[in-house]
């Protein structure tokens, strides 16, 4: 399985911090945000990665990560997104890198307390289709700013983006797993109202075919790019958790 880390976007929700750098290079506690995504995938057993970014600060990722070996990566490739065309468009740049393998896609501003390895193993055992990672979120107001999974028992029935009336308390996190069918889906997508190719459309393509499975992640999950408030909430969690672990 290959891993793709998406670290593009304009970062408007974190202005003015992102006027001077890519949001995924902002610090969380004592190191750049993107390194947590790298660590999460490597620790889950995925050591062939591609990082996709864009904008004027793309070269700084190379300065930070280099060939990736310092981070436990066996092979690290880079992709450049010419303009902010959405998550699905950015994923399309990784087609040649992934080849016919399965792929784990991770948004670089997502932070997880628990290891993703069990979920990676579930997908490796899955014959075909996709897999998403869900997190239970209590606050309905928070859910209205996220993608939310409508559930039929343990089955994902639909993914609704930013619902006024959330169909469940299961938010879709920024980790997605796909088989090779994803490269057939991406060219068929139409831009949304904001002019981007949406990853929710990819996920619902699998849902409609009954080929989407899901895991509910335990422990903390945070999207550090969601807002300034979310960025500092994630930073506070990472700082407290990291210091606590280091003191043991």
Q: Are 94 and 6 in contact (CB under 8 A)?
A: no
Q: Report d(CA 112, CA 41) in Å as an integer.
A: 11
Check: CB of residue 24 under 8 Å from CB of residue 98. no
Find the farthest-apart pair of alpha carbons in the chain and give their distance in angstroms, rounded.
51
Share of the chain above pLDDT 90, in %: 85
Confidence of residue 36 (pLDDT cuts 50, 70, 90): very high
Please give the average per-residue pLDDT across 20-25, as a whole number. 93
Distances (CA, A) of 212 to 49, 121, 128, 165, 178: 23, 16, 9, 23, 9
Number of residues that this document lists for the chain? 248
Per-residue pLDDT of 115-162, as tens digits, reads: 999 999 999 999 999 999 999 999 999 999 999 999 999 899 999 999
Among all chains, which residue has been given the structure tokens 């591609």? 50
Cα 237 to its chain centre, rounded Å, is: 19
Quickly name the fold that domain 2-246 has.
Spore Coat Polysaccharide Biosynthesis Protein SpsA; Chain A (3.90.550)
User: Using 50, 70 and 90 to split pLDDT, how confident is the model at 12?
Assistant: confident
Instruction: Round to whole Å and give the CA distance between 46 and 42.
Output: 5
- For residue 202, give the H/E element and its range: helix 199-208
| pLDDT tens column, 88-104 | 999 999 999 999 999 99
For the segment 60-83, the average pLDDT, to the nearest whole number, is 96
Kindly state the average pLDDT of the residues 36-44: 98
Q: What is the mean pLDDT of residues 170-192?
A: 96
Query: Rounded distance, CA 80 to CA 93, Å?
Result: 8
> Has residue 223 got a pLDDT over 80?
yes
Domain boundaries, the chain: 2-246
pLDDT of residue 243: 61
Q: Are the CB atoms for 2 and 100 separated by under 8 Å?
A: no
- Quote the radius of gyration of the chain (alpha carbons, Å): 17
The predicted-structure confidence for 184-222, as pLDDT tens digits, reads as follows 999 999 988 877 889 999 999 999 999 999 999 999 999
Q: What is the pLDDT of residue 17?
A: 87
Please list the alpha-helical segments (H only) found in 3-136. Answer: 34-43, 58-65, 87-92, 95-98, 117-125
Model pTM above 0.85: yes
- 5 — phi, psi (to 5°)? -105, 125
Give the per-residue pLDDT at 248: 35
Tell me the HSE value of 69 on the side-chain side, using a 13 A CA sphere.
1
Least confident of 33-42, 71-80, 180-189, 237-246: 237-246
What is the reported pLDDT for 219?
A: 96
Mean pLDDT score of the chain, rounded to an integer?
94
Asked if the model's pLDDT at residue 247 lies above 50, the reply is no
Q: Which helix (H) or strand (E) holds 209?
A: none
């Amino acid at each position: 399985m290959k891993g793709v880390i998406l670290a593009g976007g304009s970062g408007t929700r974190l202005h003015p911090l992102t006027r001077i750098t890519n949001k995924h290079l902002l610090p969380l506690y004592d190191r750049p945000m993107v390194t947590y995504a790298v660590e999460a995938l490597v620790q889950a057993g995925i050591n062939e990665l591609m990082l996709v970014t864009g904008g004027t600060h793309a070269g700084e990722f190379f300065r930070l990560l280099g060939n990736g070996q310092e981070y436990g990566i066996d092979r690290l490739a880079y992709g450049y997104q010419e303009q902010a065309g959405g998550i699905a468009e950015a994923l399309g740049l990784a087609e040649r890198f992934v080849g016919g393998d399965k792929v784990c896609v991770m948004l670089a501003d997502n932070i997880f307390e628990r290891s993703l390895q069990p979920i990676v193993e579930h997908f490796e055992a899955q014959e075909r289709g996709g897999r998403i990672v869900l997190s239970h979120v209590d606050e309905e107001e928070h859910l209205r700013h996220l993608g939310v999974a409508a559930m039929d028992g343990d089955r994902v029935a639909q993914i609704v983006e930013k619902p006024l009336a959330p169909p469940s308390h299961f938010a879709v996190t920024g980790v997605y797993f796909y088989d090779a069918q994803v490269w057939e889906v991406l060219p068929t997508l139409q831009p949304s109202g904001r002019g981007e190719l949406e990853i929710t459309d990819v996920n619902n393509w699998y849902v409609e075919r009954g080929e989407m499975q899901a895991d509910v992640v335990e422990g903390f999950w945070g999207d550090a790019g969601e807002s300034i408030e979310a960025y500092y909430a994630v930073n506070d969690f990472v700082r407290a958790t990291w210091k606590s672990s280091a003191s043991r």
